[in-house]
Amino acid sequence: MYLQRRNRILRQSPAIRSLVAETVLTPNDFIAPIFIDEGENVKTEIASMPNYFRCSLDLTVKEVKELWSMGIKSVLLFVKADDETKDNKGTEAINPNGLMQRSIRAIKDAVPEMVVMTDVALDPYSSFGHDGIVEGGEIVNDATVEVLAQMSVSHAEAGADIVAPSDMMDGRIAAIRQALEQSNFTKTGIMAYSAKYASCFYGPFRDALDSAPGFGDKKTYQMDYANRQEAIKETIMDVEEGADIVMVKPALSYLDIIREVKNAVDVPVSCYNISGEYAMIKAAAKMGWIDEEKAIIETLTSMKRAGADLIATYFAKDAVRLLNH
Ligand code: PBG
């Protein structure tokens, strides 16, 4: 058989495949999410996230040192607020001595070069488990945005490098940018969860922080997974409002959105390889149905190939270990 072109030539050995690989993961791609608890020497495995833990600050600081030593350069902080501190105003979210603010200070003290990103949304602090203030069964936009702006300034005061609003209220990026500028935090970045979909795959995360919505769902603020065009609208608006990095979330069922967003904006694009995506791989691997290590690298590579410059993932440490051997 005569063939002018034989595509298998470039696939015939590991060496040649690596020479022509279009996508290569590195530790610089990853953001490691961290769950923080009150107390000392506390390390609780999250039931629906095997081998992922919520730790007190003392252990968290050790963990962050280890992440840095492995080459991971960014952490995304989430805290589990005590039930007594929860209300419908986000009071604890802006407490200068709240767990988040103390955590930022301790981590920046211990590993000053680590890029510390912080979750900005009210759900961990809300008696309703919603990302905003609730009035008459509704999640009200403008009052919530005011608190999110104060919360962002409070994180910046504590030393956060990048605030990451995950709430999906309208106008919050502009409000946060303005608040940071007014308080002279001209070096604090904003990573906007721009296209965040109302997804069933957040379940394990809500276990981790005990933050499941007490009533209803999040569909009046998070996006409908039927929509693609809307993701472009959201991300372009966030860039115009001052976002330094935009995010698509979840990742695996939204690779098309990652690519479209990457083509539409001129800022770095991140994606969030969320808790349910972690849980699915862990569960299938436990059953012996898939190879966990291969599934981790293949899924993370697919996100980068889709266009993600940064990937927030619970597999950050595993991936770096796998890349190193
Ligand atoms: C809430 C928030 C959620 C996640 C990050 N921030 C869940 C939600 O919107 O209910 C999910 C992350 C994950 O599932 O890994 N502000």
pLDDT digits (tens, 9 = 90+) for 87-136: 999 999 999 999 999 999 999 999 999 999 999 999 999 999 999 999 99
Q: Percentage of residues in the chain with pLDDT exceeding 90?
A: 97
Which structure tokens are listed for 98? 């709240």
Closest CA to 140 of 177, 113, 167, 105: 167
- Are 131 and 168 in contact by the 8 Å Cβ rule? The answer is yes
pLDDT value of position 156: 98
In a domain, 31, yes or no: yes
CA-closest residue to ligand 1 atom 10: 202
pLDDT (0 to 100) of residue 132: 96
3-state SS, residue 65: helix
Q: Which of these is catalytic: 86, 196, 218, 262?
A: 196
pLDDT of 210: 85
Torsion angles phi and psi, residue 110, rounded to 5: -80, -40
Contact 12/174 with Cβ under 8 angstroms?
no
The answer to whether the CB of 155 falls within 8 A of the CB of 100 is yes
Instruction: Give yes or no for residue 32 having a pLDDT over 90.
Output: yes
Whether ligand 1 lies within 6 angstroms of the CB of 119 is answered as yes
303 lines ligand 1 (CB under 6 A): no
Question: Looking at the predicted structure, is the pLDDT value of residue 209 above 90?
Answer: no
Question: pTM (2 decimals)?
Answer: 0.97
Verify whether ligand 1 is closer than 6 Å to residue 30 (CB atom).
no
Residues 258-279 pLDDT 10s: 999 999 999 999 999 999 999 9
What DSSP designation does 201 have? G
Q: Which pLDDT value is given to residue 41?
A: 98
Mean per-residue pLDDT, 160-177: 98
Please compute the mean of the pLDDT values over residues 39-51 and round it to a whole number: 97
Say if ligand 1 is within 6 A of residue 275 CB: yes
Residues 86, 249, 282, 304: which is the catalytic one? Answer: 249
> Is 249 labeled as catalytic in the residue annotation?
yes
| Residue 201 CA to ligand 1 centre (angstroms) | 9
Rounded Cα–Cα distance for residues 273 and 242 (Å):
24
CATH (domain of 249): 3.20.20.70
Whether 14 is covered by a domain: the verdict is: no
Q: What is the average pLDDT across 311-315?
A: 98
Q: Which two tokens stand for residue 124?
A: 């961990």
For residue 8, the CA-to-ligand 1 centroid distance in Å is: 42
**Which residues contact residue 96 at a Cβ distance below 8 angstroms, ignoring those fewer than 6 apart?**
154, 157, 158
Could you give the number of structural domains in the chain? Answer: 1
Q: Where are the alpha helices (H) located in the chain, listed in sequence order? A: 14-20, 57-70, 99-110, 141-158, 172-182, 203-209, 229-241, 255-264, 275-286, 292-306, 316-323
* Residue 217 covered by a domain: yes
206 CA to centre of ligand 1 in angstroms: 7
Tokens for 300, please give them: 């993370």
Which of ligand 1's atoms lies nearest the C-alpha of 166? 16
Q: Are strands 138-140 and 133-135 parallel, antiparallel or unpaired?
A: antiparallel
Is the model's pLDDT at 242 over the cut of 90? Answer: yes
pLDDT tens-digit readout, 60-88: 999 999 999 999 999 999 999 999 999 99
Question: Does a structural domain hold residue 153?
Answer: yes
Does any domain span residue 5? no
Can you tell me whether residue 121 is helix, strand or coil?
Answer: coil
Residue 2 lies in a domain: no
User: Which amino acid residue places its CA nearest to atom 8 of ligand 1?
Assistant: 202
Flag whether 85 is in a domain.
yes
Q: Taking residues 231-244, what's their average pLDDT?
A: 98
- CA 212 – ligand 1 centroid, Å: 10
> What per-residue confidence (pLDDT) applies to 287?
98
* pLDDT value at 325 more than 90: no
Encode pLDDT of 171-197 as tens digits. 999 999 999 999 999 999 999 999 999
Mean pLDDT (the chain, rounded) = 97
Question: Does residue 254 come out as left (phi exceeding 0), alpha (psi in the -120 to 50 range) or beta?
Answer: alpha
Q: Say how many Å lie between the CA of residue 239 and the centre of ligand 1.
A: 21
Predicted pLDDT of residue 279: 98
| Burial of 214: CB neighbours in 10 Å, binned 0-12, 13-18, 19+ | exposed
How high is the pLDDT of residue 277? 98
Atom nearest to 121 CA in ligand 1: 16
What's the pLDDT score for residue 207?
A: 87
Tell me the mean pLDDT in the region 16-32: 98
Q: Is residue 131 part of a domain?
A: yes
If DSSP states are collapsed to H, E and C, what string results for 206-252? HHHHCCCCCCCCCCCCCECCCCCHHHHHHHHHHHHHCCCEEEEECCH
Domain that holds residue 167: 22-323
| Phi and psi torsions of 4, nearest 5° | -70, -40
Say if residues 35 and 46 touch (Cβ distance below 8 Å): yes
